[in-house]
């Protein structure tokens, strides 16, 4: 099999490419190499997989480049994106061009092929908006929903869409295009509306990849800024578990074509910002220094994925809990900060 991974030198892209290459497949990585850390990721991929890896340096906004990257491809994992809500607020035109325009380019170029490849697109929980109608309570240093159904299961795919922030609009629009191309043109497409993913090869920053950002700041002895009160809760999913879900979805793409699934750690893998600080403090030996900032646009006080639809359809479940996952990430980032050779996916365990 030959797979195209757009944004393939990014965090999730590197891990997916590594897994596919280790499984013996050919991989085409399409990336414009504009983000911090992606050149290191690409160098790591090339070092570990000198065979069967082809790199196309380019942008999903360029239809000619996309056309080249799609040659002979059986599957597409579409991760290339503008990924930060804050950046989308500052520059909504760029956000629109990359997230929606780039996705449309990819869909159109795939559609023109005699046998279009299967395509998995990573959307976001931001398509559900701020969840302002979900009554939230404070309990034990975190926010929890008053409704016991949400507390027990999380947010399901039957939740109405409510795009919030330019980022939510661009990713949400792309989400809907990907679903519709299955209905209108018969493409085999599936959407993952993802919660917070973390793990090795993540170069988190203040605007995106907050779990890795917190750990990196702590390792560097730098303060961590909490926007809001720190009680915000997310379900977090370790990247290895995400990859298993993606492979399961691609394995049943004919059945899943035109569907969207909420994918995250679910109710069993939730953490608040304050709780993550405590976990990091246990690993570092001291609680990181914290600064406090104002709430940011589109920040949900609580979001947890209801993953039951995907679990029931595939038998998939998470295997890495929050404490173990954060420790794995801590050790990987500690090794990277010390200038030691980066661990492989299996060595990181």
pLDDT tens digits along 287-300: 899 999 999 876 78
Res 144 pLDDT > 50:
yes
Facing residues of 57 across strands? 31
Residues 272/322, Cβ–Cβ less than 8 Å: no
Residue 342 has pLDDT above 80, yes or no: no
* Per-residue model confidence (pLDDT) at position 204: 83
Whether 265 is in a domain gets the answer yes
d(CA 43, CA 256) in angstroms, rounded, equals 34
Beta strand pairing status for 270-272 and 233-238?
antiparallel
Render 71-130 in DSSP notation, one character per residue. Answer: TT-SEEEE--S---HHHHHH-HHHHHIIIIIHHHHHHHHHHTSSSPPEEEEEEEGGGGTT
Choosing from 143, 150, 167, 330, the catalytic residue is 167
| Residues 5-26: tens digit of each pLDDT | 999 999 999 999 999 999 999 9
Q: How far apart are CA 335 and CA 327, in angstroms?
A: 12
Residue 345 lies in a domain: no
Mean pLDDT highest for which of 131-145, 254-268, 330-344? 254-268
What pLDDT score was predicted for residue 298?
67
The alpha-carbon radius of gyration of the chain (Å, integer) is 19
Residue 179 lies in a domain: yes
**Predicted confidence (pLDDT) at residue 36 exceeds the cutoff of 90:** no
Examine residue 347 and state whether it is found in any structural domain, yes or no.
Answer: no
- 206-221, pLDDT tens digit by residue? 878 999 999 999 999 9
Mean pLDDT across the chain, nearest whole number?
A: 94
Residue 270's DSSP bridge partners are: 235
List Cα–Cα distances, 295 to 69, 102, 152, 209, in angstroms: 40, 30, 26, 17
For residue 86, give the H/E element and its range. Answer: helix 85-90
Domain count across the chain: 1
Average pLDDT over residues 329-339: 91
Residue 195 lies in a domain: yes
Residue 40: pLDDT over 90: yes
Nearest to 201 by CA among 36, 25, 20: 36
- 54 band by pLDDT with thresholds 50, 70 and 90: very high
What does the angle CA 207 – CA 212 – CA 216 come to, to the nearest 5 degrees?
A: 100
Task: For residue 29, give the 3-state DSSP assignment.
Answer: strand
315 assigned to some structural domain? yes
Q: What is the pLDDT of residues 166-183, one digit of tens each?
A: 999 999 999 999 999 999
Which domain, by its residues, includes 7? 2-337
342 in a domain, yes or no? no
Residue 140 banded pLDDT, cuts 50, 70, 90 = confident
pLDDT at 300: 85
What is the model's pLDDT at position 296? 82
Task: Find out whether 221 and 286 touch, Cβ atoms under 8 Å.
Answer: no
Answer whether residue 343 is part of any domain.
no
Catalytic residue at 167? yes
Q: What is the pLDDT of residue 163?
A: 94
Q: What is the CATH number of the domain that holds 297?
A: 3.40.50.720
pLDDT over 50 (residue 121):
yes
The reported pTM is 0.95
Distance CA 191, CA 196 (A): 16
Q: Confidence class of residue 156 from pLDDT cuts 50, 70 and 90?
A: very high
Which ranges constitute the DSSP H helices of 186-271?
A: 210-220, 239-251, 253-256
Residue-level pLDDT at 347 = 46
């Amino acid at each position: 099999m030959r797979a195209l991974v757009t944004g393939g030198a990014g965090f999730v892209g590197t891990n997916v490419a590594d897994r596919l290459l280790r499984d013996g497949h050919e991989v085409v990585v399409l990336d414009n190499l504009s983000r911090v850390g992606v050149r290191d990721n690409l160098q790591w991929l090339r070092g570990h997989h000198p065979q069967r890896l082809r790199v196309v340096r380019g942008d999903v906004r360029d239809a000619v480049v996309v056309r080249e990257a799609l040659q002979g491809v059986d599957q597409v994992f579409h991760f290339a994106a503008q990924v930060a809500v804050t950046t989308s607020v500052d520059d909504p035109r760029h956000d629109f061009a990359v997230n929606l325009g780039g996705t449309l380019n990819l869909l159109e170029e795939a559609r023109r092929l005699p046998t279009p490849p299967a395509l998995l697109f990573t959307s976001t929980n931001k398509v559900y908006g701020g969840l302002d109608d979900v009554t939230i309570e404070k309990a034990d240093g975190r926010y929890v929903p008053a409704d016991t159904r949400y507390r027990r299961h999380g947010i399901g795919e039957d939740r109405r869409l409510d795009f919030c922030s330019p980022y939510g609009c661009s990713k949400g629009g792309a989400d809907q295009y990907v679903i519709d191309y299955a209905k209108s043109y018969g493409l085999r497409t599936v959407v993952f509306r993802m919660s917070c993913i973390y793990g090795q090869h993540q170069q988190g920053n203040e605007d995106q990849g907050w779990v890795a950002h917190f750990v990196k700041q702590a390792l560097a002895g730098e303060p961590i800024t909490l926007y809001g009160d720190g009680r915000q809760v997310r379900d977090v999913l370790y990247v290895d578990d995400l990859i298993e879900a993606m492979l399961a979805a691609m394995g049943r793409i004919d059945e899943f074509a035109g569907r969207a699934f909420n994918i995250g750690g679910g109710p069993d893998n939730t953490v608040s910002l304050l709780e993550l600080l405590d976990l990091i403090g246990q690993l570092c030996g001291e609680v990181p220094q914290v600064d406090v900032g104002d709430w940011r646009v589109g920040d949900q006080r609580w979001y947890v994925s209801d993953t039951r639809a995907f679990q029931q359809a595939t038998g998939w479940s998470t295997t890495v809990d929050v404490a173990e996952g954060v420790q794995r990430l801590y050790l990987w980032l500690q090794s990277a900060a010390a200038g030691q050779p980066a661990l492989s996916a299996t060595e990181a365990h």
